[in-house]
């Protein structure tokens, strides 16, 4: 007896949870040849508002961490990617139609990018010129900057990696939300 294939459904990630879209709509993700690959939640305006609200409420907690702790979180993301390289290579191959070598290069570049930012997280203060040290025992003396707004990311294609070529950046200023912009 043949096994029934179970198609993947990509959900949203809002406030530490994976809800389906509030609207209930989804769209098909296909391979470059047009074959079905997965279903993805189609976010509504309410989903976007919920995501911005969750990001704003989480921002103070993240900002309250030391630069060293924030770097550790970024490094942990790189570790998780490293442990699942084969899965991400296969997903990129299927969704983009590239060779295994090209897909692996994308994954490796993504891991290297996370590691670079993790290593840079507690060194910003020294480069900025205040001379502080970002270690757990001696926190940096850099003054806390006010929250300027909320930055959100939206992939233009379904990809598990933070590849700058496939992400839209949305900045919503705190003081003047009517000046929001997309990059």
pLDDT of residue 2: 87
State how far the Cα of 30 lies from the Cα of 28, in Å rounded to an integer: 6
Q: List, for residues 46-59, the tens digit of each pLDDT value.
A: 888 888 888 888 88
Q: Where are the domains of the chain?
A: 66-145
- Report the relative pairing of strands 149-155 and 167-173 from DSSP bridges: antiparallel
The pTM of this model reads 0.65
| Of the candidates 10, 133, 118, the residue with the CA atom closest to the CA atom of residue 74 | 118
From 14-18, 109-113, 123-127, the region with the lowest mean pLDDT: 123-127
Q: Does 138 or 68 have the greater pLDDT score?
A: 68
């Amino acid at each position: 007896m043949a096994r029934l294939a179970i198609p993947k459904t990509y959900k949203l990630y809002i406030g530490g949870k994976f809800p389906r879209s509030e609207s209930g709509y989804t769209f098909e993700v296909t391979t470059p040849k047009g074959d079905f690959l997965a279903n993805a939640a189609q976010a509504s305006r309410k989903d976007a508002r919920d995501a911005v609200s969750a990001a704003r409420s989480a921002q103070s907690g993240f900002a309250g961490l030391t630069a060293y702790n924030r770097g550790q979180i970024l490094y942990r993301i790189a570790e998780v990617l490293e442990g699942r390289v084969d899965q991400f290579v296969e997903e990129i191959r299927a969704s983009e139609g590239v060779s295994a070598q090209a897909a692996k290069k994308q994954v490796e570049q993504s891991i290297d990018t996370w590691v670079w930012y993790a290593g840079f997280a507690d060194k910003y203060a020294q480069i900025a010129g205040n001379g502080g040290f970002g270690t757990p025992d001696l926190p940096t003396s850099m003054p806390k900057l006010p929250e300027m707004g909320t930055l959100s990311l939206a992939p233009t294609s379904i990809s598990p990696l933070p590849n700058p070529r496939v992400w839209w950046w949305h900045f919503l200023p705190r003081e003047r939300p009517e000046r929001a912009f997309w990059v």
